[in-house]
Amino acid sequence: MDEHHQDGQESTLHEIRLNTTNPHSRTIRSFVRREGRITRAQEQALTRLWPRYGLEADARLDLDACFGRRAPRTLEIGFGNGETLASLANQELTTDFLGVEVHRPGIGHLLLTLERRELDNVRVISADAIQVLKTCLPDASLDRVLLFFPDPWPKKRHHKRRIVQPDFVELLARKLRTGGVLHMATDWEDYAQHMLEVMAGTASFRNRAGPGNTFPRPDYRPLTKFEQRGLRLGHGVRDLLFERI
């Protein structure tokens, strides 16, 4: 999750090459595992606070047991540093939030924020969101899925790495209850178009803005870190809200 994502880099190409050597084990990932800088406090938080907020991604989860209650559930995919997730969780204390991210410094940052704000309605999973959806989450268990500023993979040859793809959307459709909402946002016009096209290809969702349309940022969504970077670059931001039908 850094500026390297904006321009397709060596390790990415390496990974694609490795994964395509054997067509049977080919996995195209929407992220590059790059540790980046992690502070000592974040590193310690990953151990110290994991028992309180962390969930393992190796089996189907009983979400009522994980949160100790039954409540509306929101999943955020790729929460980055988690500031948006923590703000939303603080605004909506009667909702349970599940955050999935692969970037360890970001996870550490979120854990520290949750502790500082004394939030108890958030749980964190450190894994590929696709695996989490497939393995851990029961069908119709989510009321809302948030996907804010997913890696844009701007080069055409990398478009296959964009997380929004027909299979991904059908997986989300299975995990959302009827009437549930998929909320996406992006500052890349061509990714917004891609999202609209993929969503137009499924019968499982209805565009709340009307076919082919997007919304400006709703007031309840805090500005994210990547959004602020996009705005500094002069990018326009689009929010896409789809209802599971």
Ligand X SMILES: C[S@@+](CC[C@H](N)C(=O)[O-])C[C@H]1O[C@@H](n2cnc3c(N)ncnc32)[C@H](O)[C@@H]1O
Q: In whole angstroms, how close is the CB of 50 to ligand X at the nearest point? A: 17
Residue 31 is a binding residue for ligand X (CB under 6 A):
yes
Nearest distance, CB of residue 146 and ligand X, angstroms = 8
* Interface map 113-142 toward ligand X (x if CB under 6 A): ---------------xxx------------
User: Is residue 153 near ligand X by the rule CB under 6 A?
Assistant: no
Q: Which of residues 10-29 bind ligand X (CB under 6 A)?
A: none
Residue nearer to ligand X on the CB measure, 80 or 180: 80
Identify which of residues 96 and 151 has a Cβ nearer to ligand X in the complex.
151
Q: Total number of residues binding ligand X (CB under 6 A)? A: 25
Q: Rank residues 30 and 141 by Cβ distance to ligand X and give the closer one.
A: 30
CB of 237 to ligand X, least distance (A): 10
| Residue among 131 and 193 whose Cβ is closer to ligand X | 131
Catalytic residue among 96, 128, 151, 239: 151
Nearer to ligand X, 3 or 219 (CB): 3
**Is 190 one of the annotated active-site residues of the chain?**
no
Tell me the HSE value of 194 on the side-chain side, using a 13 A CA sphere: 22
- Alpha-carbon distance of 118 to 116, in angstroms, equals 5
Stretch of 60-68, 149-157, 209-217, 231-239 contacting ligand X, by CB under 6 A: 149-157
Least separation in angstroms between CB 3 and ligand X: 10
Choices 46-54, 94-102, 172-180, 192-200; region in contact with ligand X by CB under 6 A:
94-102
Residue 82 · residue 106 · CB < 8 Å? yes
Residues 181 to 240 in contact with ligand X, rule: CB under 6 A: 224-227
How far apart CA 20 and CA 6 sit, in angstroms, is 22
Residue 11 neighbours by CB under 8 Å, 6+ apart: 32, 34
Interface with ligand X (CB under 6 A) = 1, 5, 30-31, 77-80, 100-103, 106, 128-130, 148-151, 163, 224-227
Catalytic annotation, residues: 151
